[in-house]
């Protein structure tokens, strides 16, 4: 600590401020020491790993496209299916290894209750991978008309089985 006074209180009063210069010097010295010693602390053990010439396993992901048109009609991979058959199909696909991903492509006008029933049937059958196909860049109905959906929300793709064959995005769950 420094002693002395710069004000007019007179001699005898002490200055109660900490001199930071020595503390900064110590910090810089420690920083330089850590920068120099940090690369030396990584130990590496040399191991000769065996080299093998093997072909990688190529498994194409199996995807089930479940489309729902505005009237509530269901399409399993572009083929019409009754709602009663859906649980049996989900149960059959849940036992397959690797388990396929179900991508639900629903019209904007589809009832939420129907979507909830389909998702519940899939989960009850043991399906683990569910996703929704959406089209980015379209405004949400009743929302802002700026040309893009708000962050975190995307509208459902329109159309039944006649919609575009290549979905723009699929979000897994």
For the four alpha carbons of 143, 158, 165 and 129, in that order, the dihedral sign comes to positive
The CATH code of domain 63-172 reads 3.30.420.270
For the record, the structure tokens of 36 come out as: 């120099």
Q: Is the peptide bond before 142 cis (omega within 30 degrees of 0)?
A: no
Q: How far is CA 15 from CA 75, 113, 123, 144, in A?
A: 84, 75, 73, 63
State the Cα–Cα distance between residues 171 and 156, nearest whole angstrom.
11
pLDDT value at residue 6: 59
Q: Which residues pair with 75 in a beta bridge?
A: 67, 80
Residue-by-residue pLDDT tens, the chain, 173 positions: 455 555 555 566 676 788 889 999 999 999 999 999 888 777 777 777 778 888 877 778 889 999 999 888 999 999 999 989 999 999 999 988 888 999 999 988 888 899 999 999 999 999 999 998 888 766 666 655 444 444 444 444 444 444 444 444 444 44
Structure tokens at 115: 């979507």
- 170 exposure class (CB count in 10 Å sphere: 0-12, 13-18, 19+): middle
Q: Cα angle vertex 64, ends 63, 65, to 5°?
A: 110
In this predicted structure, what is the pLDDT of residue 167? 45
Helix (H, G, I), strand (E, B) or coil at 88: helix
pLDDT at 40: 78
CA distance 62 to 37: 51
- CB-neighbour burial class of residue 119 (10 A; exposed 0-12, middle 13-18, buried 19+): middle
Structural contact between residues 145 and 139, judged by C-beta atoms closer than 8 angstroms: yes
Q: d(Cα 37, Cα 81) in Å, to the nearest integer?
A: 68
The answer for 144, left when phi > 0, alpha when psi is -120 to 50, beta otherwise, is: beta
State the pLDDT at residue 156: 43
Q: Name the residue ranges covered by the structural domains of the chain.
A: 1-40, 63-172
pTM for the full predicted model: 0.48
């Amino acid at each position: 600590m420094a002693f002395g006074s710069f004000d007019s209180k007179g001699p005898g009063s002490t200055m109660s401020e900490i001199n930071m210069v020595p503390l900064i010097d110590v910090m810089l010295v420690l920083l330089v020491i850590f920068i120099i010693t940090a690369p030396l602390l990584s130990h590496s053990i040399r191991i000769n790993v065996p080299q093998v010439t093997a072909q990688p396993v190529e498994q194409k992901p199996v995807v089930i496209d479940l489309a729902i048109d505005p009237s509530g009609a269901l399409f399993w991979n572009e083929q019409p299916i009754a709602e009663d058959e859906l649980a049996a199909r989900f149960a059959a696909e849940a036992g397959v290894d690797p388990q396929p991903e179900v991508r639900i492509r629903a019209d904007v006008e589809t009832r939420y209750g129907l979507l909830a029933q389909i998702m519940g049937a899939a989960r009850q059958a043991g399906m683990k991978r569910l996703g929704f196909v959406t089209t980015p860049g379209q405004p949400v109905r009743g929302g802002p008309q700026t040309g893009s959906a708000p962050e975190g929300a995307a509208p459902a793709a329109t159309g039944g089985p006649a919609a575009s064959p290549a979905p723009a995005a699929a979000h897994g769950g």
